[in-house]
Amino acid sequence: MLNSRVTTSLLQQPASAAIRRAFISSPPSSFLSSPLVRSGPLRFPTSAPSLLRHCSSDSHSSSSSSPSSQPSNPNSKIPNVANPASDKSTWRTMAEKDISRYLRQTHDRVFEHNRAWAAEKKKADPDFFANLSAGQTPEYLWIGCSDSRIPAEQITGLEPGDAFVHRNIANLVCNTDLNVMAVINYAVRHLKVKHIVVCGHYGCGGVKAAMSAKDLGILNPWLRNIRDVYRLHEKELDAIKDEEARYNRLVELNVIEQCRNVVKTAGVQQSYAENSFPIVHGWVFGFNDGLLRDLQIDFEGMLKDIQKIYNLTES
């Protein structure tokens, strides 16, 4: 509920970053006729007078502008809409002020909602933060994608303290990535997590990028890990004629391979031999219905298979 209110409040802001960039880089006449303005969900003002009022207002609230309101500085130069090129600097100055106000508003609202969340939690449970500060004993280690649309706790109903979370592009577990290796080691050896979840999602931009034959600069070595997954399962994937279905299957196979990489680690192997946990799971999230799909990883079978070569149970 709280995050939805944050999202709603952000969408109620004067304009999105995309619209603002278009406003700065485009002459006013072309900007006012662009699809971003005409049909955008934020309903940015489309007439020159209302646009000027909107950009020059000093109010912190987008609702303060009305069709009859005047610019906050009546002595300021009003851009000549008939000849926008001659007043480009004025338009740009007004847009930059609007962007600065927008950034301040979106920053401040996060803290407003944080205070509301803290008050709500304390009201529901007066000991909530005392218990939270006592330490963490999460049941889950979550290794997910950095995609902003997949907050682990929200889609699973977990509470603060329930999951130790690591996220990166395309939910990769690379043995050369000291970040994810340290996370797994700490979660297993010190936090004693019972479940390790590798969660991918359909529509993953990282997986899609890896399927394209393009030089993506610094992303190349990272995405090569996904391309290697394609190489390992080339026959299966090439047999899928539908491109979207092939894309979705690569998402699933990537999750399975990353689960296998988790199982290869010494911490997981040794903890399981001693404690019978953690168990490794592979899940995929779908945006179309908001549901998680369990790929039914055979953890014990996978562990047995890899230990022919990757057996690290001896400390």
Bind-site residues for Zn(2+) = 145, 147, 201, 204
Q: What is the DSSP letter of 1?
A: -
Both structure tokens of 163: 């999951």
Is 149 a known active-site residue? yes
3 state SS of 20:
helix
The burial class, CB within 10 Å (0-12 / 13-18 / 19+), for 66 is exposed
Residue of 38, 149, 190, 231 marked catalytic? 149
Distances from the Cα of 274 to the Cαs of 78, 192, 279, 314, in angstroms?
A: 75, 12, 13, 11
Distance CA 287, CA 291 (A): 8
Is 204 a known active-site residue? yes
Is 259 a known active-site residue? no
Is 199 a known active-site residue? no
Residue of 53, 101, 201, 281 marked catalytic? 201
Binding-site residue numbers are 145, 147, 201, 204
Contact 201, 287 (CB under 8 A): yes
Residue of 55, 204, 259, 260 marked catalytic? 204
Stretch (H or E) spanning 29 = helix 28-32
Is 145 a known active-site residue? yes
Which residues are marked as active site?
145, 147, 149, 201, 204
